[in-house]
Amino acid sequence: MAKNLLKGSEREPMPGAKSTGKADPTERLEVTVLLRRSNADAFRQRVSKLSSRTEAREHLTRGEFDRQFGASNADIAAVRQFAAAHGISVVQERAGRRSVVLSGTVEQFNAAFDVELERYEYPVGSYRGRVGAIYLPDELSNIVDGVLGLDDRPAARAHFRDRSAHRKTTAHAAAASATSYTPLQIASFYNFPSGTGKGECVGIIELGGGEKHADLKTYFGGLGISPSPKVTVVSVDHAKNHPTGSVDGPDGEVMLDIEVVGSIAPEAHIAVYFAPNTSAGFLDAITTAIHDTTNSPSVISISWGGAESTWTQQALAAYDSAFQAAATLGITVCVASGDNGSSDGGTGDNVDFPASSPHALACGGTSIQTSGNKITGETVWNDGTSGGAGGGGVSKVFAVPAWQEGLSATKTTGGAAPLTMRGVPDVSGDADPETGWDVRVDGSNAVFGGTSAVAPLWAGLIARINAANTEAGVAAVGLINPALYGKPSVLNDITKGNNGDFEATKGWDACTGLGSPDGTAIATLLA
């Protein structure tokens, strides 16, 4: 039987990782097979129209989307037959999400995809992985776009900073100007329109940790929000709501996200999708939220990511395709741009993914100065290599979208280079731990910063706007990037500071994007 290389599936070991031998052949795992999209040309045309349009919103229902652009029955049947030939079980068939989930042993998947799964150890853990490409038989070579789940290395990191830990690595320990704010105060600083998000659902993606109802009740009660916002936990790929008891662990991310969204949109329903921190788990969480007909989120907040260079090409394409699907359904996806400045924790300049997807709203970081109930100054958040800085730069993967054409990225060394690839971020908001957010995690009060706070800030704003629009008989705003770039005056332009290699300038820049929100002006634009 002929074997065909699956384009974009090539893998290398993680930095510092060494093989400790072959993976246990009897170990069981689940693998997501991603199929080609039906009517792909029509889908691309629809997405292109949404990406260039700033007025009419022609969104599909989830049922309409599944019928027009899901995987075909014939393609699903081909994967089913392939699995049976290798003794592999079919766990789920999801036509709308164009995926089939398979369950089998290491030995079976090694044979099915012509790979050699091994165990690897690296400085902070271990994982099951592979080197090289995945191969497909002839009958699948033209219908499979991706195979995710063979490798279970951590796919992403959370983008928040605990002020107490942050001070141990920076010169801010005795900062007299340090302060903190509730999400309601920050929403007021940014002139958010009135509203509670009633009738909307905000989806939150989490790759670990958990929430504690008692902490949420205490937190929201302290803000005068009673009853607490409705929170529904959705298990993806067997992951659960599992608090770890560590304030600076993944619990911190989960609670920050819920508390920011729940404060700003207290009458919105919050659906939290818990998934394993793997490329397959992350994608499955995103597609579960997008195609969720039970909770039906109209906005999704993602505060996890990793440098573009750490992802396979098949994963980059799969996630971006999922965000394209979100756009056609009228779902806004807000993604944190990272907390490691222009390097994103790597060598040279890197941008964080999935924030770098052109179909996501990439959310960068600022530091605010306030007096009374007003912002008196706002700069790029940058506390140095150890302290963190807002992620931003120029993608090495995604072409420049239509709404960024003609813009330039200014380097700190001088000179502005016209964008030929996607620029990150699009927008920004307060992310400096020294001007941070009041949170409650695992029974303790804390102050957090990081772009992890900015994604749910924007998600809460969109929930308020969508609720008002729904009441007025107007569709959800969906992909808002073209509208914002068409009228950047609805944002507060940030012109001071840098995130390492990129400098803030008048207009869009690769530190803070178009700037921080003037919520009421944005609501008027998107009404």
Reduce the DSSP state of residue 391 to 3 states and report it.
coil
CB-based contact 332:300 (threshold 8 Å): yes
CB-based contact 21:119 (threshold 8 Å): yes
CB-based contact 307:344 (threshold 8 Å): yes
- Is omega for the bond preceding 425 within 30 degrees of 0, making it cis? yes
- In angstroms, the CA 332 to CA 319 distance is 14
452 an active-site residue? yes
- The answer to whether the Cα torsion of 371, 377, 378, 379 is positive or negative is negative
| Catalytic site residue from 30, 151, 253, 344 | 253
Give the distance from CA 509 to its chain's centroid. 20
| Catalytic site residue from 257, 308, 344, 430 | 257
- Structure letter (DSSP) for residue 466: H
Of 247, 310, 309, 299, nearest to 277 (Cα)?
310
| Catalytic site residue from 337, 367, 452, 516 | 452
Q: Which residues pair with 100 in a beta bridge?
A: 33, 93
Task: Find the radius of gyration of the CA atoms of the chain.
Answer: 22
First vs last C-alpha separation in the chain: 57
Instruction: Provide the b/e sequence for 96-134 (b: ≥16 CB within 10 Å).
Output: bbbbbbbbbbbbbbbebbbbebbbbebeeeebbbbeebb
Residues designated as active site: 253, 257, 452
